Structure 1
Amino acid sequence: MSSWRELFVKKAHDWGLMGNFGINKTMGIVEEQFYWPKIHKDIFRICGQCVECQRTKSHLLPHGLYTPLTTPQRPWLDISMDFILGLPRTKRGRGSIFVVVDRFTMMAHFIPCHKFDDAPNVASLFVEHVAKLHGIPQTIVSDKDPNHQQTNGQTEVVNRTLGSMLCAVVHGKLASWEKHFPLVEFAYNRVIQRTIGMSPFEAVYGFNPLTTLDLTPLSQDVVLSLDGSKRAEAMKKLH
């Protein structure tokens, strides 16, 4: 295996923005730009040598069974919400994470907050970080709602992924987790999700943003040449 190939795979796997996602998602990142013989074998070997990934993923438990919710029809109409509590307090005094997930595209927003934020403060955080970007949802499911505890497995899966990402980027400095959040959220929303076959970002906006791994800009002809009606039809087909 030539040195440039190995270097690129390691960068795609270890780069902070990609959050040490593992074999499948690293493969998706590399295959967006490159191909060479035995590419899957090379990626599998390099990812398998990552000690940090094995350490963080070894603590994850299997997901339980959940009763499925109705299927959403378009982005950000139906969302799931949850809180991750008990984290090391940051310099800003925050020790919790408010997690909001679009059930249609899997796009997520990770919002640092205080442990004892009351309902008005949570509502303010929702407006500041979610509603201003996506509008008001039609339905909300929360793991804190006793009527839906067995149905909302989606946020639990996202929480597990977020936990692995944070373990990979804080490097032992546990109270520094908040400063990594903008890049962690970008990384989560940028990589391909197996359940939808594309990244959450692409599912919402119709294209993927560039990252530092993009050595040269990809052609944007399709995005730039579509008129309004064609653009709308393309997004409808994508959804």
Structure 2
Amino acid sequence: MDWVAGPVPGVKERFNAFLSIVNRYSKCERILTCHKEDTAMDTALLLWPNIISTCGIPKMIISDRDSKFISEFWTNLYDMLGKKLHFLLLIIHQQIV
């Protein structure tokens, strides 16, 4: 999961970012329009109808450790569901990008 900020082509101006979600096994990608100011709660509310309700709760989230995923909300959500929340740290060297 990764946020990409900036104008979203072909989408109403009220969205200024999108969330890219890729299933590691099927390589299926979903793009959800959002706001770069979205909180963890906003993200969960976005994921619930678009991802979790159709695909289930992910066992692992691979992210660039965006603050939205480190928040207490995600930890509490997984605790309530009896799941462990695992993060894989992605380090991208600036010279590569």
What TM-score do the two structures reach when normalised by structure 2?
Answer: 0.63
Give me the whole-angstrom Cα distance separating, in 2, the residues matched to 1:110 and 1:88: 11
Give yes or no for contact 1:82–1:144 (8 Å, CA) kept in 2: no
2:3 is the alignment partner of 1:83: yes
2:89 is the alignment partner of 1:148: yes
1:108-137 alpha-carbon deviations (Å, 9 max, x no partner): 110001121111000111111101111001
1:187-206 alpha-carbon deviations (Å, 9 max, x no partner): xxxxxxxxxxxxxxxxxxxx
**Shift in Å at residue 147 of structure 1?**
5.8
Q: Which residue is equivalent to 2:58?
A: 137
**Shift in Å at residue 97 of structure 1?**
0.6
Give me the whole-angstrom Cα distance separating, in 1, the residues matched to 2:32 and 2:47: 9
Structure having the larger proportion of residues in helix: 1
Give yes or no for contact 1:82–1:99 (8 Å, CA) kept in 2: yes
After TM superposition, the structure 1 = structure 2 runs for residues 1-239 of structure 1, keeping only pairs within 5 Å, are 81-87=1-7, 90-91=11-12, 93-145=14-66, 148-150=89-91
How many residue pairs match? The answer is 71
1:138-195 alpha-carbon deviations (Å, 9 max, x no partner): 11111135961238xxxxxxxxxxxxxxxxxxxxxxxxxxxxxxxxxxxxxxxxxxxx
What TM-score do the two structures reach when normalised by structure 1?
Answer: 0.27
Give the greater-gyration-radius structure (CA).
1
Q: Give the unaligned 5+ runs of structure 2.
A: 67-86, 93-97
Runs in 1 of length 4+ with deviation above 2 angstroms? 88-92, 144-147
1:7-27 alpha-carbon deviations (Å, 9 max, x no partner): xxxxxxxxxxxxxxxxxxxxx
Structure having the larger proportion of residues in strand: 2
Q: Give the unaligned 5+ runs of structure 1.
A: 1-80, 152-239
Give me the whole-angstrom Cα distance separating, in 2, the residues matched to 1:111 and 1:121: 12
Instruction: Please tell me the residue identity of whatever aligns with 2:51.
Output: V
1:199-222 alpha-carbon deviations (Å, 9 max, x no partner): xxxxxxxxxxxxxxxxxxxxxxxx
